Structure 1
């Protein structure tokens, strides 16, 4: 049985805790956060602590924390024999180099506490400071996911940027679409089948091949109509994305 201490109580920590708790060969033995109030939802389920120096001996210490504190917290764990892991897409492996055994356990997914996720389908990107530690981290990841990939720090940074485009930026565009609907008395739910179809389409097509719309067709009349309808705060985004699509595909006459 592999024993794990989780440091952090945010969305990533919450979902990893739930998934690890249901795994056959993993046992979460403690959860840490520097704020007692943040541990409230965990305290009835598991041993908790607000003192970083009172962490239990474990095989893994999983740092599901804000990027800017990862290195600082790792330095306080350098006396522990277990493998120190962080879950960040943007922070390199070397942020943990103060420890003896360390690595990365990055689940490539967007997490919200009220939204259930199936970890078996989530890619987990792993990296380690030694071949032996990499194999141990791989075994841990395979307990909860069928998609485990060795991704180095530079690849993971690029992957994180790509994820921001396809997830965070696209969601922001959904927000703009919802605002436009609201401004014109339209229920945003009417767009949900279109959103679903667009996402499903790239299972069989490359995103470039799936592109449609007035920017691709260089339909100037439609583009001008859209710009006339949009408030000024959204015109720049519309123009910028239209130009980007045309730069990629070339303007069609």
Structure 2
């Protein structure tokens, strides 16, 4: 059984806590957070502390904190030669303080506190300085997920950038679509079957093969009609940029 201490109380930390608690191969020894009240709905107070001086012994210490805090928090840990990992997609493993052995335990998913996820389906990307520590992280990952990858810091940064495109940017486009619907007294729910089918298609087809729409067809009549319809400057510029990108991509094929 792998003993784990989680440091943090945000979205990622809370989902990791749930996943670790549900695994019979992981012992969640303790959670460290500045504001332990944020975790009172998940854990008994005996497992919570806000003091680094009270951190208990574990096999792995998971820093599930903001990217900008990873280096500073790792330097505050009151021990040495222990396996300390962060959960960031964009921070290099080398940013962790060298007083401890370094690693990365990156669950590639979008997390919101109010939305449950099936952790078994979440890819976990691992990195470690040595083979023994990698095996420890691999055992931990396989205890809560069925999808585990060995990924370098450079590859993980590429994944994180790609994830911003396919998740964060796409969700913002949903928000724009919702605004257009509201401005024209339409229910955004009308678009949800389309959203679902578009997402389902890329499970079977490549994104290139799944592409449809006026830009794919280079239908300038429809494109110009849409641009005339749009009044918001940002919406118009985003439409132009994405349309050009699709057309340019089609030319390369």
* TM-score bracket for this pair, using the shorter chain length: over 0.9
Normalised by the size of structure 2, how large is the TM-score?
0.95
Provide runs of 4+ in structure 1 moved above 4 Å: none
Contact 2:123 2:145 in 1 (8 A): yes
Length, aligned pairs only:
252
Contact 1:32 1:39 in 2 (8 A): no
* Secondary structure of the corresponding residue to residue 89 of structure 2: coil
Partner of residue 127, structure 1: 127
Contact 1:182 1:188 in 2 (8 A): yes
Shift of 1:46: 4.8
Partner of residue 236, structure 1: 237
1:141 aligns with 2:134: no
Structure 1's unaligned 5+ residue stretches are: none
* Secondary structure of the corresponding residue to residue 61 of structure 1: strand
Shift of 1:35: 2.8
C-alpha deviations, 1:85-139, integer Å up to 9, x for none? 1000000110114233220000000011111111111110000011110011001
Partner of residue 220, structure 2: 220
Q: How does 1:146-185 map to 2 (within 5 A)?
A: 146-185=146-185
Normalised by the size of structure 1, how large is the TM-score?
0.95
Shift of 1:195: 0.5
CA-based RMSD:
1.7
Contact 1:64 1:87 in 2 (8 A): yes
Q: How does 1:176-195 map to 2 (within 5 A)?
A: 176-195=176-195
Shift of 1:239: 0.2
Structure 2's unaligned 5+ residue stretches are: none
C-alpha distance in structure 2 between counterparts of 1:173 and 1:81, whole Å: 45
